[in-house]
Amino acid sequence: MQQLTSHVYVETEIRGCNPGIVFTDEGSVFVDTAQWISKLLEMRGFALSRGPIRALINTESHIDHIFGNHWFAGECPVIGHENLEKTFWKIPAAFNQTTYDYSVDIIRRQDPEALHLMPSEKDYILNKPNVTFSDRLFFKLGDHDFRLYYTPGHSDANISVFVPQERTVFVGDTVFSQCQIWLHTANFDDLFRSLRFLGTLDVDYIVPGHGPVVGKAALHQQEAFLHEWISAVAYGVAKGWDEEECVQRISFADRCPVDIGQAEEMEYIQTHNVRVVYNYLMNN
């Protein structure tokens, strides 16, 4: 785990999202839960050794951000966007597995010593957010402010968590840092709006959903990369390529790796990113 500021810790070197902890003088707040049971319990234990866990915030509904919610059941309120409910604990149909089986398979491969800690399907508690909001939600805990903003685009349930005292914002998958971007549920107009909005926050640290912590320049880099994706597919459309030909000919696989431990998803990412961009161009 990396200590980012005097009160913020993040884990950016495990498979799945970058979970974080913000410590206040009245307890801690978790942002997202790891998809790796031993790391998750290590983080949870670290937080509890310093006081109560007072809230868990999910920045989106994708499995890599909510898998560990089970281990916070009964511990604290869970906060998320109101749209998160309909996609919570759902994985792409192309994965051809139930979410539970998919999760067990991941634990078996990446964290086998913790497999015995995975509950049976009937005992696994989804622990969905019980505090939801539509546009923004602000609260104070001890000496810290938490400002939660709706920042859709990666999905329709993405939020960002701004902690002004730490000059830090957790932006979830609105930013992918030094790794492949997943656009399979993207809305580009929303994503561009959210990136511009995040640029108005007075921060030093942006905790992305995946990859190392970055500064505000990363917002422009992400925007530029999205434009590259759109341009590449627009070029194909201008050449007369249909969707399948675009899928065959366009790839950004050589640009950067997939986030840790997910190299096998490269083809899925490239294929679905092309399809989503193609349909965006055709419907706008």
C-beta of residue 64 within 8 angstroms of C-beta of residue 92: no
32 touches Zn ion by CB under 5 A? no
Q: What is the DSSP letter of 66?
A: H
When binding is defined by CB under 5 A, the residue of 75, 111, 166, 173 that contacts Zn ion is 173
CB of 13 or CB of 244, closer to Zn ion? 13
Q: Is 166 in the site for Zn ion (CB under 5 A)?
A: no
Q: What minimum distance in Å lies between the beta carbon of 160 and Zn ion? A: 14
CB of residue 258 vs Zn ion: minimum separation in angstroms?
11
**Out of 14, 23, 35, 64, which residue is the one contacting Zn ion (CB under 5 A)?**
64
Residue 209 Cβ, how far from Zn ion at the closest point, in Å? Answer: 4
| DSSP codes joined into one string, 107-143 | HHHH-GGGGGGSPPTTT------SEEESSEEEEEETT
* Beta carbon of residue 154, minimum distance to Zn ion (angstroms, whole number): 8
DSSP string, 18-45: --EEEEEBTEEEEES--SSHHHHHHHHH
Name all contacts of 231-237 with Cβ < 8 Å and 24+ positions apart.
Answer: 232/277, 233/274, 233/277, 233/278, 233/281, 234/281, 236/278, 237/278, 237/281, 237/282
Q: How far is CA 132 from CA 54, 67, 92, 186, in A?
A: 16, 18, 24, 21
Does the protein bind Zn ion through residue 190 (CB under 5 A)? no
Site string for Zn ion, 85-124 (x = CB under 5 A): ----------------------------------------
By CB under 5 A, is residue 21 in contact with Zn ion? no
Which of 79, 84, 100, 75 minimizes the C-alpha distance to 32? 79
Contacting range for Zn ion; rule: CB under 5 A; set: 74-82, 138-146, 204-212, 250-258: 204-212
Q: Which stretch binds Zn ion (CB under 5 A): 61-69, 108-116, 232-240, 268-276?
A: 61-69
Residue number with CB closer to Zn ion (168 or 185): 185
Residue 48 or 263: the one with the smaller Cβ distance to Zn ion is 263
Binding-site size, Zn ion (CB under 5 A): 4
Backbone phi and psi for residue 144, each to the nearest 5 degrees, phi listed first? -125, 145
Residue 209 engages Zn ion in binding (rule: CB under 5 A): yes
Nearest to 176 by CA among 228, 211, 203: 211
17 contributes a contact to Zn ion by CB under 5 A: yes
Residues contributing to the site for Zn ion (CB under 5 A): 17, 64, 173, 209
